[in-house]
Amino acid sequence: MSSFLSSLQKARKSTIALFAIAASSLTLTAPAHAAVTEETAFVFNTFSFLVNGVLVMWMAAGFAMLEAGLVRSKNTAAICLKNIALYSIAGLMFYLVGYNLLYVGVDEGGFIGTFSFFYDSGDTEVALLSAETSTEELITAVTSNGYSVMSDWFFQMVFVAATASIVSGTLAERIKFWPFMLFIAVLTAIIYPIQASWSWGGGWLTELGFSDFAGSSIVHSVGGWAALSGAIVLGPRKGKFSADGRVKPIPGSNLPLATLGTFILWMGWFGFNGGSQLALGSAADAVAMAIVFVNTNIAASAGVVVAMILTQLLYKKIDLTMALNGALAGLVAITAGPDVSHAYMAIIIGGIGGAIVVFAVPLLDSLQIDDVVGAIPVHLCAGIWGTLAVGIFGSGTFVSQLTGIIAIGAFTIICSTGLWLLLKMTVGIRVSEEEEYNGLDVSELGLEAYPEFGRGSQKLV
């Protein structure tokens, strides 16, 4: 079985250049009426980054609503705050140093980009905007890049924000606000960019043939590993596991909000995977993006259906939260290879993602790892599966995929665990028992998310 697009896309950044060259050389031979001109392709590529990037930005709201719906009401305002704060900090950090570490000056086969501050439009783009009248040379100089540099920055920035969003759900209801934000700042400034430079920046994993179209590993597993190491260092919520090892279910307080969050994430994922085609300026790119959209949708649908059927068979009830996480697991699973050539492959990949969630959630519980929203099963477990699936259905080899998974995982675990431990030993990462009992809304924010509802939500453990 083969993948259409992966062979065209070795490194996430260099792809456009390849396409640009292809398009450009094409126009020399093709009649003018048939081809996309270079400037038109530039506009398409740029607009694709912006439109798809907005959809990915919207996923920040999806994570916020999903997590707000799955925590108890006494921690709802706190998780809302964390989500808007982490999105903000991720963007600032990526501007400060992250983008440069990921994309600027990564050696062929290298391990890291450049440590330098800020990233703004290049000289030619500035010149084009400042020019009284644009010369053809200036336009050619700008358009030969394939896309506007800041549109690419925007699209990549929302990806690092998604990575950060994954972590907040797992660690909800007990982590201190500011230490968590310090972790997010380092994650988005340093950890994420360095490992992503290995593949999307054109580093050593690209050399190896590792293929991760939109980031099953690079985004989702990294978020999952950071969440897992945090969950272990932080420990479970009070009362989640009894002394004799029994698991106490702690139901989410607002399931329609969690449903809304899932739909938002599903919607945003079209931008996440579709935009990762990284170009729209040719018929081939448009065809590829359409296939990616369809596979993305089909995989999520399969994840829902498999999770529903399994929970019906196993528990005689269909757990809504499992169906929602089934959708997300299907989406995570297809993310490494949404360019598979037939949609039935997407059904298989997404369906297995849905099954993974159903089995990984109780497994985590049995390990006494407390993941409030199920982010580890969804983003880590299904992310690993999706990355491996490219070795089966797509163009990657199983060995290169496994190498990437292990390398990215090891790096993220080591950095994250070290950072969590450092924070724990210095500023502390966990609120007091009393604060946890009263809820983070009252303790850290001094307010309630739903002051008029309920039977005293902060009284519930």
- Give the x-and-dash track for 94-113 against its own copies (CB under 8 A): -x------------------
Nearer to its own copies, 69 or 169 (CB): 69
Helix (H, G, I), strand (E, B) or coil at 358: helix
- Backbone φ and ψ for 447, nearest 5 degrees, come out as -155, 175
Question: Would the CA dihedral through 49, 50, 52, 53 be positive or negative?
Answer: positive
- Give CA separation, 387 vs 91, 135, 423, in Å: 26, 46, 31
Q: Which of 123, 244, 434, 452 binds its own copies (CB under 8 A)?
A: 452
**In the numeric block, which tokens belong to residue 205?**
């994993």
Q: Is the distance from CB of 39 to CB of 323 less than 8 angstroms?
A: no
413 touches its own copies (CB under 8 A): no
446 touches its own copies (CB under 8 A): yes
Stretch that binds its own copies, among 167-175, 247-255, 371-379, 426-434 (CB under 8 A): 247-255
Q: Give me the half-sphere count of Cα atoms (radius 13 Å) on the Cβ side of residue 105.
A: 8
17 touches its own copies (CB under 8 A): no
Nearer to its own copies, 131 or 410 (CB): 131
Q: Which of 15, 282, 400, 412 binds its own copies (CB under 8 A)?
A: 282
Nearer to its own copies, 21 or 399 (CB): 21
Q: Is the distance from CB of 54 to CB of 438 less than 8 angstroms?
A: no
Can you name the residues that pair with 247 across neighbouring β-strands? 241
Stretch that binds its own copies, among 130-138, 230-238, 240-248, 413-421 (CB under 8 A): 130-138
Report 292-351 residues binding its own copies (CB under 8 A).
293-294, 297-298, 300-302, 304-305, 308, 312, 315, 317-321, 323-324, 327, 341-344, 347
Place of tokens 């400060």: 96
Place of tokens 């905007």: 129
35 touches its own copies (CB under 8 A): yes
Q: Which of 17, 139, 186, 392 binds its own copies (CB under 8 A)?
A: 139
Stretch that binds its own copies, among 201-209, 248-256, 383-391, 409-417 (CB under 8 A): 248-256
**In the numeric block, which tokens belong to residue 329?**
């697991």
Q: Which of 104, 150, 247, 348 binds its own copies (CB under 8 A)?
A: 150
Q: CA-based angle 70:75:81, to the nearest 5?
A: 95
